[in-house]
Amino acid sequence: MSSAIVLTVLFTTVSFYYTVWNWKRGRLSMQHNSLSSVLVALPEYVIASILILVFAIWLEWLPPYGWQGWQDLWLPSIALAIPATGLLSRLLNDSLRRVLNEPWVVTWLSANISYFQITRFAFKRAISNLIPQVAMIMIGLTGGAVAVELIFSIPGIGRMILGAAKSQDLPILQGGLLVLLGFSIFISSTSILIQKVMLGQMLSSGKLISSHSSFSFTKSRAKLYSAIGIFAFLIIFTVWAMLRDPYTTQFGRLIAPSLEAPLGSDAIGRDLFARVGAGMLTTLKGGIMATFLSLVVGVILGFCTRYSQGLIEITKGVPYIIAGLLVAGLTGMNPNSALIAIVLTSWAPLAAHCASLLLEARAQPYTHLAPTWGVKSWNMYRYYLLPYVLPPLLRHALLKLPVITLSLTSLSFIGLGVKPPEPEWGLLISENLAYIERSPFGVIAPIAGLVMLGIAVNLLFDD
């Protein structure tokens, strides 16, 4: 994990200096988030599968599994670092672009202050608001390490806890979860202290000025049409696949793609085209249900932050895979364990956002005047607070849909979600990973679907 953190910092630094380079040349507004959108859309187990296919099987540069020397370190570290880099670089670059467009930058340039000094101060302002998110990314690496350790056969605490959950070995499961939860709480608490130190007296003096991030559909027609095109392709693919049988053995074992089986067959002769198409419905159904439940819980607890603030902070520091292992240990590997675990961890960011919006709504002049007009408490919520809070919160939930969907597939991949023979995308990748050399489409097709879904949703909100 330490090597993954080093690679994440290195890759993010390159992205940071690329943004600064664009700013110096007046091209900051032309910079796009397409690459980071692709990286965010790829969970660790998907990247690990691609790395094994390319570098271990096709190029034969690195070993596909094991933990015997430095050569075994590269693929697992890169698999963990790439998604973290995509998220961190996007957050940092978005924050940096807002800071570099503030009026003080023009004033400093007019005073002949060096680019280095401006960049240093802009970085401090940009990163200070992201310290809790950086902590969340580090905590997320511990969750992603579970799947990576499983794929690359690495002896680690994540793989040990997963084995304990599957075998119902409660002492090992409890001890391992306590270690991971303790690490998560330590990282989260440390990040809060670091943020307070970086912001200093601005927190108490009222001199901290920051712009409010709004969620809105993209104004770019090219991005809008691209997103619509991707959704249309996925719908056509799914409708065509629904005309076929995803469960029956119809072909030979691991046959190559043909007119009868456009993507070939799996290890027991089932139609991969039908299973990938049906898997989209299963995957999206779980993702939409988990997103909706997370939104409902987030809104309810976001309106009750006086009682739920501590729970929100604790829940934000728990990776979803750790929650999945905990739920699996309590429910005995129930097929709904993944859905329960995702809802238990995904509501907290929505609740925190809801609480922030509610604070702004209550500070509006018309909200202060409403009681003097005789507006009752229920009508205050219905006509003043909810209309202010719900629109951006709904857009936030839509942005989380691909992330939650990817999280569900990750839990299914490690055996904590949907059970065979259901054609869920994470389960499909897990089933066909062992045969990736003979039948690569069993892994490539669901990966492509996950990437396209993530990119389409990100394009809808990317400006």
Phi, psi of 249 (to 5 degrees): -75, 110
Do residues 144 and 248 share a domain? no
Distance from CA of residue 143 to its chain's centroid?
12
Residue 222 and residue 184 share a domain: no
The CATH number linked to 91 is: 1.10.3720.10
Q: How far is CA 354 from the centre of its chain?
A: 19
Cα 385 to Cα 101, 268, 349, 379, 399: the distances in Å are 31, 56, 19, 9, 22
Residue 435 makes CB contacts below 8 A (sequence gap 6+) with 254, 266, 267, 442
Whether residues 251 and 290 fall in one domain: yes
> Which one of 159, 178, 201 terminates a domain?
201
pLDDT score recorded for residue 205: 47
Q: Is residue 207 part of a domain?
A: no
Final residue before a domain boundary, out of 201, 223, 255: 201
Distance separating alpha carbons of residues 220 and 127, to the nearest angstrom: 28
259 burial level (CB within 10 Å; 0-12, 13-18, 19+): exposed
Q: Is residue 419 assigned to a domain?
A: yes
Clarify whether residues 196 and 233 are in a common domain. Answer: no
Containing structural domain, residue 192 = 1-201
Residue 331 lies in a domain: yes
Mean pLDDT by 10 residues, the chain (463 residues): 87 89 76 64 78 86 83 89 84 82 86 89 81 77 79 81 76 81 79 74 48 62 90 94 91 90 92 93 90 93 82 74 78 79 88 77 70 72 77 79 84 81 87 85 88 82 66
Whether cis (ω within 30° of 0) applies to the bond prior to 421 is yes
In a domain, 369, yes or no: yes
Do 152 and 285 fall within a single domain?
no
Residue 88 located in a structural domain = yes
Report the distance separating Cα 147 and Cα 46, nearest Å. Answer: 10
- Residues 189 and 241 reside in one and the same domain: no
Query: Would you say residue 208 lies in a domain?
Result: no
Question: CA–CA separation, 372 vs 58, rounded Å?
Answer: 73
Which of 173, 201, 229 terminates a domain? The answer is 201
Instruction: Tell whether 5 is covered by a domain.
Output: yes
What pLDDT score was predicted for residue 297?
94
DSSP per residue, 1-26:
-HHHHHHHHHHHHHHHHHHHHHHHTT
Q: How far is CA 421 from CA 99, 247, 401, in A?
A: 51, 7, 25
CB atoms within 10 A of CB 335: 13
Same domain, residue pair 178 and 250: no
For residue range 238-278, what is the model confidence (pLDDT) as tens digits?
999 999 999 999 999 999 899 899 999 998 999 999 999 99
Residue 209 in any domain: the answer is no
Instruction: Please indicate, yes or no, whether residues 284 and 424 belong to a single structural domain of this protein.
Output: yes
- CA 5 to CA 221: how far, in whole Å? 37
Q: Is the Cα torsion angle 144, 145, 146, 151 positive or negative in sign?
A: positive
Same-domain status, 443 and 379: yes
Question: How many domains in the chain?
Answer: 2
Same domain (yes/no): 250, 367:
yes
